[in-house]
Amino acid sequence: MAEEDQKAEENPKGEGKSKKKLIIIIALVAVLAIGLSVGATIYLLGGSEPEVIAEDVIAEPTKEPAIYLSINPPFLVTFNVDGRQRYMQISVSVSSRDGGALDTLEYHMPLILSKLRSMYGAQVFDEIKTDSGKLALQSKTVDVINEILAAEGASQIENVYFTNFVLQ
């Protein structure tokens, strides 16, 4: 009986054991909730995807960023149209994804400038005034440059841009 009195004095209402049990239960529930949320997150984010083995992955070719080169000086061409002198001035830039093609283009710039001047001078003024004529001229410019680069064994350019196009 002395033991019961001593316990009653320490815990007059018997709350000590129930508080400890309550704290333990709350801690277990919190740990369980955290574990379930972590498990659900892992399952939803990564668990449903099949594992990818390095051998199964087929490497997609990565596209290099475009490199641009301006061709200077601008081209100035004169035309005789109905007894009047007309002018065309074009500033040209080219793009390629291979720096080697642009290096070859720079090396052979005198030849490229000569061929383009001849080609531009042979155009009909009334045709290049139209949008379709300008697009055709752009396409011919790409062809002339790529022919020279192909003869040298270099990569080809992708596109030509008329950064300034004046007809007068």
pLDDT, one tens digit per residue, over 9-40 is: 555 555 667 888 888 899 888 888 888 888 88
- Same structural domain, 89 and 146: yes
pTM score:
0.61
- Same structural domain, 130 and 73: yes
- Same structural domain, 40 and 88: no
Query: Does any domain span residue 75?
Result: yes
- Same structural domain, 37 and 114: no
- Structural domains of the chain, count: 2
Q: Are 79 and 147 in contact (CB under 8 A)?
A: no
Closest CA to 73 of 164, 167, 144: 164
- Same structural domain, 45 and 100: no
pLDDT, one tens digit per residue, over 135-155 is: 999 999 999 999 999 998 888
Q: In what order do the strands lie in the sheet with 159-167?
A: 67-81, 84-96, 159-167
Closest CA to 101 of 133, 73, 128, 67: 67
d(CA 32, CA 34): 5
- Same structural domain, 154 and 95: yes
Residue positions counted in the chain: 168
Query: Does any domain span residue 62?
Result: no
pLDDT, one tens digit per residue, over 69-113 is: 999 899 999 988 888 999 999 999 999 998 888 899 899 999 999
Tell me whether residue 112 is exposed, middle or buried, using C-beta atoms within 10 angstroms of its C-beta: 0 to 12, 13 to 18, 19 or more: buried
Report how far apart, in Å, the C-alpha atoms of 151 and of each of 32, 104, 108, 147, 154 are.
Answer: 73, 11, 11, 6, 8
Tell me the residue range of the domain where 23 lies: 2-56
